[in-house]
A and B are shown apart, each in its own frame.
Chain A
Amino acid sequence: MPAVPHIELRNLSRRLPSGGRSLTILDEVELTIERGEFVAVLGPSGSGKSTLLALMAGLDRPSQGEVLLNGKAIHDLSEDQLARLRLQEIGFVFQSFQLLGNLTARENVLLPLELAGVRDADQRVADLLKNVGLGQRGHHYPSQLSGGEQQRVAVARAFACHPPLLLADEPTGNLDSATGSLLLELLMDLRRRHGTTLVLVTHDAAVASSADRRIFLRDGRLDRQETDETEIAPLEPPSPLDPAKPLSPVAG
């Protein structure tokens, strides 16, 4: 019996009202991501990369189609259920860091652990901050840290609950190239250690080159995808779902 894919997007569309009209951001996207896979999503500005990420995380709701996480549909969960799902299943790293300005670096990392009710949270935070090279900076507020340091705090926070899935939206976009490379190395290292599935949105080909698979979006549609071995174009249709196959419950 084949393993349930980590993420499945079926016929996924997202339209936004714009002025009086409806603007299509994503258009009938079909995508499957396996557990432990590292997928880079590429495409020009406005091609729908971030929206794709938002839909995978249940941050946004599709206008049409389905999002399956561990084989279970998440697009019709309540906001409360989605929040819990993110807490247990998904880590985030954003281009603009998105740290809470009124919390110190340590408290930013601690927050998801506290929400999840983790016991040895303080020790884990200390280890995480040490791992990202900020062992001594935990008491600083985000405004007292450089951009690279802030993003490292964000990475530590993203891994705090050991999420099986990490979603990163242009994590190096606001960093200079040297800092960006260092951060990427850190991310890769942590991913390998935890066996995390990583979906990374970028428009930097160099960043994408280390991914297992690269997906190209254009005008809201999957344009093509490639792996290190082969270049697949056009996109293969997804294998039909076996109706007899049981859905695995959301882990956690």
Chain B
Amino acid sequence: MSPKVYLRALLRESRGSRGRLLFFIACLAVGVAAVVAVSALAASLEAAIRSEARQLLAADLKVSGRQPLPTELDAFLQSKEGVERTDLKELVTIVAAQATEEEVTSGTAAPSQLVELKVVEEAYPFFGEIEVHPAATLSSLLHRGVVVAPDLLTRLGLAVGDPLRIGSANFQISGTVLSEPDRISFNLTMGPRVFLSAQAFDQTGLETFGSRIGYRALLKLPEGTTQKLLKSFAEDLEASLPNAAYYNVETYTEAQPAMRQGLRQVERFLALVALVALLTGGIGVAQTVRAWLAGRLQAIAILKCLGMRPREVLTLYLGQTTLLGAAGSLAGGALGLMVPQVAPILLGDLIPASAVSSWQPLALFQGVALGIGIAIIFSVPPLLALLRVPPVRVLRHQAESLPANRRANWAAAALLLLGIALASLVQTRSPWLAAQFTGGVIVVTAVLMAVAAGTIRLVGRLPRDLGRPWLRYGLANLGRPGSATTGAIVALGLGVMVVLAMSLVETHLSHQLRADLPEDSPTGFLVDIQQDQWEGVQNLLQQQEAKAVDSVPVVMARLSSIDGTSIQKLAEENPEDRDRRWALTREQRLTYLDELGDDNEVVEGALWSDPTLAEVSVETEFAKELGIGIGSRLGFDIQGVPLELAVTSLRTVRWETFRINFFLVVEPGVLDTAPQFRVAAARLPRDREQSFQDLLSAQYPNITLLRIREILEKIAGVLGRLGVGVRFLGGFTVLAGLAILAGAVSAGASRRGREVALLKTLGLTRIGVLAAFTVEYACLGLAAGIIGAAAGGVLAWAVVTQGMEIDWVFLPKPFFFTILGSAALTALAGNAASLRALAQRPITVLRRQDS
């Protein structure tokens, strides 16, 4: 066949089937919509990050570190012309309202709040707008006082003009900040923002020994600096810094690598959820193709009889499904591009509406290509049936099929597998994850199919003498041999599984996060306690009925070498490995202990076992990150004093106890004289947390209380909103399942029409027929619901207990409602698809059968 003839034949062949293949398009469109939605949303956010990279950094280049920036930076910048610089400091601390007279007399303290403090100079920000109220520049407001987030005013019951105590100084609140360019709303924050000037910060006394301050220098290069020049500037700058590994130099062209990486991880997960919807659509495609071919057997026989080769017929029909696949994918793509518009509504302030733009051609292309691919690989297996259509059918209708082509069948199966693997690779860009996903899909589908087939067989054997003809008819229909219900049950079951599993995992996670902490674990951490403050803090804790009070000394240090190799060199070895770089260059917190807590277990070596060495015990995961083991020598720089420690034991830590624990624990005696402060942990009654924080803040403004309950609440809130998005996506799978069911019902419409006619002739009323159909579809939905719920339960259980190590709680309600919902939705969709059969007059149908 020449391409021209092929194309003409293709268009002609599609004439008879356009209407009937609507379900083909619908099944596919739903899946493609999910895929496009996820990738459009991700691309949209990524594009927003890239296009606003300079605003997000508020500079061309940022140098940051956990310690004051070195004087070498000043020297370097002085040698460069036209470079502007402004410095920032960021820290987390507790601020408070001024105590009222009443509070002073009653001995209670004014309300306090954990905030994220940002100390800025006049030039901040170099790029992007900072929006403040009343309308003015930030620096003019900072001249008069501090600028805070509106949220803080609400929490402390304050208004603009009121005083706010930060550290040991009081400031007037001169305005509120509504948005800032370099703070992104989809990051988890510790508390509301407070801005103050560098001069004001000096008065707070918060920059003391041990305080955790992030130091940043924002740089603006002369207008017209190319990205290439910027890059070489950054490299020169990095080279000029001593101990460059301890600082992070970031240009706007890198566009927030950490944030984008996080985004990609979320995208990867959502992309797989969307792929499940698309694969479910694929099952629908296979089923529709099968039903379609059943009606085209005679035409296929004629084509073969007229001299069309079997493989030409196959190509012709494959062309059909490809065309339909393209139509369905484009429809789904258009739908998918609209979804990101509703994302900000679904996900709340996790995603700023301004960051979402609908037109994402790459996402559309990816979705449409995947859609067409899935349409093809799922059509080939049923299409192979046309190779078996005997041409002699033109003479003898009951002619037996030609023998199956085993090689073609194997090839089709291989194509299907390969296609799924490739699709998951496209979606995850990770071969390992794609392999796991493909394996999982195959196992789950095989199990669902087996159970679905078993269920249908079981229904076929149920006693049917239940006294009501519609009940018997409905059950009989479900169990009839050769009914296309298995596919529908599998697809619906998959949908139910995804939705329920997601919801169960999320419920367990947020339940775990919201449940009160274990009896013996602390609820708050106190950090930056100076040695002379500890006694007073202890008294305060006692007053507030704190239990399980625990405190250890902390010595801040930097790792300077491992086995004689400098950290600088080690960090440069593999600059892309962010985790390792972090482990090497972080501010190391050392403590010294005689004995370890019962949540620590030495797994290698022995604790303080060598009297001749200054020893350190290292947590196993951290040791892996550093690439060290027993016998390694770690060089430290403790406030300028060098110290070498030998690793003599490795230990595991159960971090989930929330107790104070350290990666590095040093043998007692070694660090006694080093400059140090204390951290403490305590269990406070829920209703005393706020008052304790208020009192602590009033007496010891430099000490920060981290409230674990509050932090967990925040995480749970974010997860909850993400969960809404995930379930929304999972809903697409259910939708695809329903489209498949409607397709299966509609494919059998003529048979059903005859049966309805017969039933009506025999005296069953329209309501009776409707009841029979409802029984059939509800049972089908029930079966799919039970199977899917069971699979979803197992999946969620595995994720919760194995993946997250959270205790499993059986929650009957979600199971119950999922199964019920599945039955109801299925009955609704099935009846809707049968409406035409129901509406026909019996005589029309019976007469047609005669002719």
Contacts and interface: CB of A to CB of B under 8 A. Distances in A.
Interface of A: 16-17, 50-51, 53-54, 57, 59-60, 79-80, 82-88, 92, 94, 98-103, 107, 111-112, 114-117, 157, 169
B306 A101 contact: no
Nearest to A83: B309
B726 to A, nearest CB: 44
A60 B395 CA distance: 10
A102 B310 contact: no
What are the 9 A-B residue pairs with the smallest beta carbon separation, nearest first? A87-B307, A102-B16, A59-B392, A60-B392, A114-B5, A83-B309, A102-B15, A80-B309, A59-B391
B298 to A, nearest CB: 8
A16 B401 CA distance: 12
A115 B307 contact: yes
Query: Chain A CB within 10 Å — which of B304, B306, B311, B387 has the most?
Result: B306
A99 B391 CA distance: 14
Contacts of A87: 306-308
Interface string B368-403: 000000000000000000010011101110011010
B307 A84 contact: yes
B848 interface: no
A60 B309 contact: no
A54 B395 contact: yes
Nearest to B393: A59
B552 interface: no
A116 B391 contact: no
A46 to B, nearest CB: 11
Nearest to A55: B392
B13 A92 contact: no
Contacts of B394: 59, 92, 94, 98
Contacts of B15: 102-103
Contacts of A59: 305, 390-392, 394-395
Contacts of B670: none
Nearest to B397: A96
Contacts of B433: none
B12 interface: yes
A85 B305 CA distance: 10
Contacts of A92: 305-306, 394
B302 A116 contact: no
Contacts of A82: 391
A112 B308 CA distance: 8
Contacts of A107: 12
A8 B547 CA distance: 105
B299 interface: yes
Interface string B12-52: 11011100000000000000000000000000000000000
Contact of A53 (B1, B13, B308, B395): B395
B8 interface: yes
B304 A83 contact: yes
Contacts of A94: 394-395
Given A60-B390, A80-B309, A115-B5, A103 B12 contact: yes
Nearest to B13: A102
A100 B303 contact: yes
Contact of B307 (A17, A83, A102): A83
A34 B299 CA distance: 32
Interface string B400-425: 10100000000000000000000000
Given A54-B395, A60-B399, 16 more contacts: A16-B400, A51-B396, A54-B392, A59-B391, A59-B392, A79-B310, A83-B304, A86-B306, A92-B306, A101-B16, A103-B12, A111-B303, A115-B306, A115-B312, A116-B307, A117-B5
Contact of B299 (A50, A88, A102, A116): A102
Contact of A50 (B307, B308, B387, B395): B395
Contacts of A102: 12-13, 15-17, 299
B809 to A, nearest CB: 58
Interface string B784-811: 0000000000000000000000000000
Contact of B395 (A84, A88, A169): A169
A232 B731 CA distance: 78
A138 to B, nearest CB: 14
Given A92-B394, A100-B299, A102-B12, A117 B309 contact: no
Q: Which interface residue of A53, A87, A157, A169 has the most chain B CB atoms within 10 A?
A: A87
Given A17-B400, A80-B311, A102-B299, A111 B395 contact: no
B309 A111 contact: no
A180 B390 CA distance: 29
B350 interface: no
B307 A86 contact: yes
A114 B8 contact: yes
A102 to B, nearest CB: 4
B2 interface: yes
16 contacts: A79-B309, A83-B304, A83-B309, A87-B306, A87-B308, A88-B307, A98-B305, A100-B299, A101-B16, A102-B16, A112-B306, A112-B307, A114-B1, A115-B1, A115-B307, A115-B308
A107 B17 CA distance: 17
A82 B309 CA distance: 8
Nearest to A87: B307
Contacts of A103: 12, 15
A86 B309 CA distance: 10
Contacts of A111: 9, 303, 306
Contacts of B8: 114
A80 B307 CA distance: 9
Contacts of A60: 390, 392, 399
B312 to A, nearest CB: 8
B302 A100 contact: yes
Nearest to A96: B394
Contact of A79 (B16, B400, B402): B402
Contacts of B305: 57, 59, 86, 92, 98
Contacts of B312: 83, 115
Scoring B305, B308, B391 by chain A CB atoms within 10 A of each residue's CB, the highest score goes to B305
A80 B1 CA distance: 13
A87 B309 CA distance: 9
A7 to B, nearest CB: 17
Contact of A80 (B2, B5, B310, B392): B310
A100 B313 CA distance: 14
B302 A98 contact: yes
Contacts of B307: 83-88, 112, 115-116
Contacts of B310: 79-80, 83
The residue in A80, A88, A100 that gathers the most chain B C-beta atoms within 10 A of its C-beta is A100
A120 to B, nearest CB: 15
A51 B298 CA distance: 18
A115 B309 CA distance: 9
A162 to B, nearest CB: 13
Interface string B768-785: 000000000000000000
A111 B312 CA distance: 13
A149 B87 CA distance: 92
Nearest to B402: A79
Nearest to B302: A98
Given A86-B305, A92-B394, A117 B2 contact: yes
A149 B399 CA distance: 28
A114 B6 CA distance: 9
A123 B285 CA distance: 40
Contacts of B1: 114-115
B389 to A, nearest CB: 10
Nearest to B396: A50
Nearest to A53: B395
Given A16-B400, A169-B395, A83 B308 contact: yes
Contacts of B5: 114-115, 117
A117 B8 CA distance: 13
A82 B308 CA distance: 10
Interface-centre pick from B15, B305, B309, B395 (highest chain A CB count, 10 A): B395
A51 B400 CA distance: 13
Contacts of B13: 102
A251 to B, nearest CB: 15
